[in-house]
């Protein structure tokens, strides 16, 4: 990518003002003496995606909003775009996979968006959304490969530093890379010595492979579809998030399906938080020891990215 737009801390601060009163400023909940949770599951649509989606649509011109917006998503970004579009008075069309969790489909429909069902490959969803841009004149709201989206998600990292100025490490899940890119950019701008570690399922570890190889690597939908963490099933990082992560992320660790399930149970029983598999990935890395701490790492934040879990899956996981 030639001369990528690397998001600045000023852009993240501008996004924080834009989303104020719409996205929730989620608290830091203390887990133990050295660990805090950032529960983005408490956002109005149950996930961090409200930050970026609202920042993007609010940044559009009135003419662009009059045309309507389109996106492609397995669920949480879909719900955020639907909600932001309704709040800002524009129509939304969402390309969703046929295996999207029902709880996320219902959330999109409640906010009045139109759903276009596609296959389960994220690139197929992307192609269909681009077709709708051409056919209907809609404005694309990318899930992660957009500087305005990254700046919006970066407000999560900004809040972490404002609430815990001595933060020494942050664990954040990685999918297309919007959240991890935004959080890493904000944290590194304000606390350069802090470590930011990305977390992926072992069954969908394209970001780990990409950062190790120094080039974007793609996993097939068949491979990533094996993880129950549906929000982390993207085939590849977005090119722009990849450029941010190469600069600001300190590494990626992977977690197993059993470790994700255990983290969901621990968050429910001890933390009293309902968390979806994708949202529990970072906690899985902490509880399993996959992201070991250094001797000076005494203030760690775990980003809990979402809580929109399928009820039947959740019952099975809690039953152990």
Query: Which residues are paired to 117 by β-bridges?
Result: 96
> Which residue of the set 168, 169, 282, 305 is catalytic?
305
Q: Do domains 9-43+146-319 and 50-140 have the same CATH topology?
A: yes
Which helix (H) or strand (E) segment is 35 a member of?
strand 35-39
- State the pLDDT confidence band at 226, using cuts at 50, 70 and 90: very high
Per-residue pLDDT tens digits for 83-102: 999 999 999 999 998 888 88
pLDDT above 90 covers what percent of the chain? Answer: 89
Per-residue pLDDT tens digits for 174-184: 999 999 999 99
Residue 34, Cα to own-chain centre: how many angstroms? 24
What pLDDT is stored for residue 271 in this prediction? 96
Per-residue pLDDT tens digits for 143-178: 999 999 999 999 999 999 999 999 999 999 999 999
> Which residue of the set 38, 49, 56, 104 is catalytic?
49
Task: Specify whether domain 50-140 bears CATH 3.30.360.10.
Answer: no
- Cα separation of 312 and 83, whole Å? 25
Look at the domain 9-43+146-319 and name its fold: Rossmann fold (3.40.50)
Query: Which residues are paired to 115 by β-bridges?
Result: 94
Q: Is 305 noted as a catalytic residue in this protein?
A: yes
- What residue segments make up the domains of the chain, in order of their start? 9-43+146-319, 50-140
Residues 270-299: what's their mean pLDDT? 97
- Cα separation of 96 and 223, whole Å? 19
Residue 109 CB partners (closer than 8 Å, separation 6+): 115
Say if strands 195-201 and 92-97 run parallel, antiparallel, or are unpaired: unpaired
Q: Is 73 noted as a catalytic residue in this protein?
A: no
Residues 23-45: what's their mean pLDDT? 97
**Is residue 1 pLDDT above 70, yes or no?**
no
DSSP conformation letters of 182-196: HHHHHHHHH-TTSEE
């Amino acid at each position: 990518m030639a001369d990528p737009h690397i998001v600045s801390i000023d852009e993240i601060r501008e996004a924080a003002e834009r989303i104020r009163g719409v996205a929730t400023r989620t608290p830091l909940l203390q887990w133990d003496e050295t660990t805090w949770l950032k529960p983005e599951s408490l956002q109005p649509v149950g996930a961090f995606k409200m930050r970026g989606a609202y920042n993007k649509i609010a940044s559009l011109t009135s003419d662009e909003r009059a045309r309507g917006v389109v996106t492609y998503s397995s669920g949480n970004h879909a719900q955020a775009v639907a909600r932001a579009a309704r709040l800002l008075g524009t129509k939304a069309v969402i390309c969703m996979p046929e295996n999207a969790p029902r709880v996320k489909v219902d959330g999109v429909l409640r906010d009045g968006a139109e759903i276009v069902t596609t296959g389960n490959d994220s690139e197929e969803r992307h192609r269909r959304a681009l077709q709708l841009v051409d056919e209907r004149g809609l404005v694309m709201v990318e899930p992660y490969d957009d500087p305005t989206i990254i700046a919006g998600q970066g407000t999560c990292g900004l809040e972490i530093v404002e609430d815990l100025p001595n933060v020494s490490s942050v664990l954040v899940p990685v999918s297309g890379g919007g959240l991890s890119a935004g959080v890493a950019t904000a944290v590194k701008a304000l606390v350069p010595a802090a470590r930011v570690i990305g977390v992926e399922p072992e069954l969908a570890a394209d970001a780990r492979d990409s950062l190790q190889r120094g080039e974007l690597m793609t996993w097939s939908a068949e491979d990533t579809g094996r993880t129950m963490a549906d929000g982390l099933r993207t085939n590849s990082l977005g090119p722009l998030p990849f450029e941010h992560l190469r600069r600001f992320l300190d590494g990626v660790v992977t977690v197993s399906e059993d470790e994700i399930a255990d983290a969901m149970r621990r968050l429910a029983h001890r933390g009293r938080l309902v968390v979806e598999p994708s949202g529990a990935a970072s906690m899985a890395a902490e509880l399993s020891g996959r992201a070991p701490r250094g001797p000076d790492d005494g203030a760690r934040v775990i980003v809990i990215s979402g809580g929109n879990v399928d009820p039947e899956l959740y019952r099975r996981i809690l039953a152990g």
